[in-house]
Amino acid sequence: MDAQTIMQLIPNRYPILFMDHVDELNPGESIIATKNVTINEQFFQGHFPGNPVMPGVLIIESLAQAASILILKSPEFAGQTAYLGAISSAKFHQIVRPGDVLKLHVEFTKRRNNMGVVHTYAMVGDNVAAKAELTFIVSPNTEGAAATPS
């Protein structure tokens, strides 16, 4: 799934689309997506001058965007809207810098009528950069476009 296909599914656009492509998708089960981190990212202007570091909250947002694709491509939630309801057990293990490639891993752990819980982690090479459990509330799409969590 390339960036154009991703934008057909979730409404995020520059400067808040944090995914370049989907590597693997098993609807209802798991997803692996890629975010190429470049020095041209808008947030590096202020975070931090002379020491560019990707903000942790944006790593979590990247994971949430990958999770929203998994959720919205899952049969029971197709055509609906996913909202981020909670972030649990978020931990940051490694600084993410320009030139890094974030591999975003998301796996469903729980599902109910209108909610889902996913286990997520972001890798840089062989190292875990961040991980978190995300809870989503899913509701019927009332505006005609899928919404992304956050």
Check: CB of residue 139 under 8 Å from CB of residue 71.
no
The two tokens of residue 135 are 């809870």
Closest CA to 116 of 38, 9, 48, 31: 31
Q: Is the dihedral of CA 33, 37, 41, 46 positive or negative?
A: positive
Which positions are annotated as active-site residues? 47
Q: Which residues of 125-149 are buried (b: 16+ CB within 10 A; e: fewer)?
A: eeeebbbbebbbebeeeeeeebbbb
Q: Is the dihedral of CA 60, 61, 62, 63 positive or negative?
A: positive
The span from the CA of 105 to the CA of 86, in Å, is 18
The two tokens of residue 62 are 């990247």
